Structure 1
Amino acid sequence: MKLHQLRTFVAIADAGGIRGAARALDASPAAITKSLRQLEESVQIPLVLRTSSGVTLTEFGQTLLVHARLMIGQMARAQEAVDAMRGTASGKLSVAITPWLAMTFLPETMKRFTERMPEIRLELFEGLLPIANPRLRDGSLDFFLGRPTPGDLGVEFQYRPLFSSSCAVVVRQDHPRANCRSLADLCDLDWLLTWDPANDGPSAQNMFERNKLPMPRKIHLAHSFAISLALLRQSDMASIFPWPLVEVSASREGLCAVPVREQLEDAKVSIISRSGHPLSVASECFIECLVETVHDAQKSDSPDTRNVLRSVDLLI
């Protein structure tokens, strides 16, 4: 296997066809087809199935794709590390950021980072587990600032804790159950979460089971904070937000925290990256800028900033 063949294979998978890969790599369809054929010959297995609408990956192809992304990513990071040592850092830094952190400390962090590493392009993703974890696994994400997989420390990822906060049940401000005092009064509602309790065993499931209550009758999944806000504002669904997110968004979005007496699980935000893969110079610089921003914010006169910081325990 050669690196240019793996790049071609990844481009085909991303574009869903030969012509799309040719456009992405600025090459001819014939050259893309030749490179793919050579790769299939070297591994002696079919990697794609050609159809009238494009290509689909075989089972072998799906397995190789994960490793191909990692190899390409590592080569890019190696080049970036050498460039950084020469004082000519360039390339791209891909980061997933949990919503409340993006709404508070990201702008100043990004300003500091771009001043120190002006040649690095940032690629930012919404920091939700179903979005971030697959990208961490295949190497297309450098690191994730967000919630670790609940109850799973594992060996796949390494964690550096940043913040800890409590959580709140959230509904629209004029919700008929907005003043309920117990989770028992909310069990018959539909809930909207950003993770899947069946797969992740998250705090919502533990929260109900710990209080000997039935799981909600239906849990909908929304892998977007904007979608969650839109649905919560215009429905009777309930959700769970970390308190910093309540502080920065609930009131202005027409939402409120339900004053239930039960204790909810804490929400932690960590720097999450692949085990065995050291963070790049650019990654460490971004994290350093974030930590500086948070520490400087402790001296802020802004009521919003003070409220957010009061709702979290700093672990950095």
Structure 2
Amino acid sequence: MKFHQFRALVAMADTGSIRAAARALGISPAAATKAVRELEAEQQIALVTRNANGIAFTEAGQALLVHARLVVHQMSRAQDELDARRGRGVGKLAIGVTPWLALSFLPDAVILFRERMPGMQLEFYEGLLNIVMPRLRDGSLDFSLGKPGPASLHAEFTQTPIFATESAVVVRKDHPLSHAQSLKELQDCEWLLNWDPASKEMVADDVFLRHGLPMPKSMHLAHSFVVAMGLIMNTDMVSIFPWPLVETRFARDNLRALALQEEVDRTVVSVVARRGVPLSAAAECFLECLKEAIHAGEASPNPERRRLFHSLELLI
């Protein structure tokens, strides 16, 4: 198996056709076809078939594609690493980010990073587990910043805690229970969580069962932060937000954090990456910028920004 064959295979998967893959690679359609056909002949198994919509991958092709993406991505990262050490600092850094980070202090980290590595292209994905895990597996994502995954993923990924924060129960400002003082008063409400299905059990343990309360009868999941905000602002649904998000101007203008007698939840944000694959120089630089942004925010003369950053506990 050769690298140019893997590149052709990945390009076909990304573009959906041989012609588009050839354009992306800067080669002729005949050369792209030849690369894959040679790979099929060497392995004596069909990988790609043509159909009315372009191309389709066989079961064997889908299996090989996972490994091909890893190889192509690692070669690209190796080139980026050498370019960075030569002072060129070009390439791409792909990061999964939990939504509330993007609305709180991610911009400060990005500004610092762009000053230090202006030639690097940044690519962000919403950091829910069901979105980032497949991309971490196939190498198209360098790392993710978010809640640690379940224990079943620990053999496959490293999960390094970087900071922790408390959470709050939030409702719209004119919610009929906006002055509730205990979780028990909210038992009959409809709850909306902006987390993955796998996190539902963790919330049950950390928020309700810990205080001797049963799970609410109605609990919904939103896989988009925009959807979650729209519903919480315009319905009587109840949710749980990390404090840095509660402290953003947008949340303070539209939501109310309830002063409950119970501690709600402690959120730990970790760097999640494929086990056995070291972070690139660009990834290390970005994490250093994130840490510096948090320290700068804690010392900000602006009291609004200090409130946001003082809700964090750095773990690195």
TM-score (norm 2): 0.89
Whole-angstrom CA distance in 2 between matches of 1:99 and 1:2: 39
Deviates more, 1:132-141 or 1:37-46: 37-46
Amino acid at match of 1:123: E
Q: Quote how far apart the aligned CAs of 1:212 are.
A: 4.4
Whole-angstrom CA distance in 1 between matches of 2:167 and 2:47: 45
Deviations 1:183-234 (A, max 9, x none): 334344333223333x345432222333444434444332222222122212
Aligned to 1:116: 116
Whole-angstrom CA distance in 2 between matches of 1:13 and 1:47: 11
Query: Does 2:4 correspond to 1:4?
Result: yes
| Contact 1:21–1:32 (8 Å) recurs in 2 | yes
| Contact 1:145–1:272 (8 Å) recurs in 2 | yes
Whole-angstrom CA distance in 1 between matches of 2:49 and 2:191: 40
| Contact 1:97–1:127 (8 Å) recurs in 2 | yes
Deviations 1:249-285 (A, max 9, x none): 4212x11223333332310112222111111111111
Structure 2 gaps, min length 5: none
Aligned to 2:166: 166
Query: Residues 51 and 163 (structure 1 numbering): CA distance in 2 closer, same or farther, change over 3 Å?
Result: same
Whole-angstrom CA distance in 1 between matches of 2:308 and 2:241: 13
1:134 partner SS: helix
Whole-angstrom CA distance in 2 between matches of 1:25 and 1:143: 26
Aligned to 1:93: 93
| Contact 2:105–2:293 (8 Å) recurs in 1 | yes
Aligned to 1:250: 251
Whole-angstrom CA distance in 1 between matches of 2:106 and 2:69: 27
Whole-angstrom CA distance in 2 between matches of 1:178 and 1:301: 31
Deviates more, 1:13-22 or 1:88-97: 13-22
Whole-angstrom CA distance in 2 between matches of 1:289 and 1:225: 24
1:289 partner SS: helix
Whole-angstrom CA distance in 1 between matches of 2:70 and 2:123: 17
TM-score (norm 1): 0.89
Deviations 1:28-72 (A, max 9, x none): 433333222222223322223433223333332222222111111
Q: Quote how far apart the aligned CAs of 1:6 are.
A: 1.2
Whole-angstrom CA distance in 2 between matches of 1:213 and 1:64: 48
Q: Quote how far apart the aligned CAs of 1:74 are.
A: 0.8
Whole-angstrom CA distance in 1 between matches of 2:4 and 2:118: 28
For residues 268-287 of structure 1, the aligned pairs below 5 Å read 268-287=268-287
Amino acid at match of 2:243: W
Whole-angstrom CA distance in 2 between matches of 1:233 and 1:154: 36
Query: Residues 140 and 216 (structure 1 numbering): CA distance in 2 closer, same or farther, change over 3 Å?
Result: same
Deviates more, 1:64-73 or 1:82-91: 82-91
Aligned to 2:186: 186
Aligned to 2:79: 79
Query: Residues 17 and 294 (structure 1 numbering): CA distance in 2 closer, same or farther, change over 3 Å?
Result: same
Whole-angstrom CA distance in 2 between matches of 1:212 and 1:50: 58
Query: Residues 22 and 186 (structure 1 numbering): CA distance in 2 closer, same or farther, change over 3 Å?
Result: farther
Deviates more, 1:144-153 or 1:223-232: 144-153
1:113 partner SS: helix
Amino acid at match of 1:205: A
Query: Residues 169 and 43 (structure 1 numbering): CA distance in 2 closer, same or farther, change over 3 Å?
Result: farther
Query: Residues 260 and 61 (structure 1 numbering): CA distance in 2 closer, same or farther, change over 3 Å?
Result: farther
Query: Residues 20 and 70 (structure 1 numbering): CA distance in 2 closer, same or farther, change over 3 Å?
Result: same
1:107 partner SS: helix
| Contact 1:143–1:273 (8 Å) recurs in 2 | yes
Aligned to 1:204: 203
Aligned to 2:290: 290
Aligned to 1:32: 32
Amino acid at match of 1:92: K
2:241 partner SS: strand
Aligned to 1:105: 105
| Contact 2:161–2:268 (8 Å) recurs in 1 | yes
- Percent identity, aligned pairs only, is 52
Whole-angstrom CA distance in 2 between matches of 1:56 and 1:210: 49
Whole-angstrom CA distance in 1 between matches of 2:185 and 2:18: 55
Aligned to 1:307: 307
Q: Quote how far apart the aligned CAs of 1:143 are.
A: 1.4
Q: Quote how far apart the aligned CAs of 1:172 are.
A: 1.4
| Contact 2:169–2:238 (8 Å) recurs in 1 | yes
Q: Report the aligned-residue RMSD.
A: 2.3
Whole-angstrom CA distance in 1 between matches of 2:10 and 2:231: 36
| Contact 1:160–1:271 (8 Å) recurs in 2 | yes
Deviations 1:79-109 (A, max 9, x none): 1222222222311111122233323332232
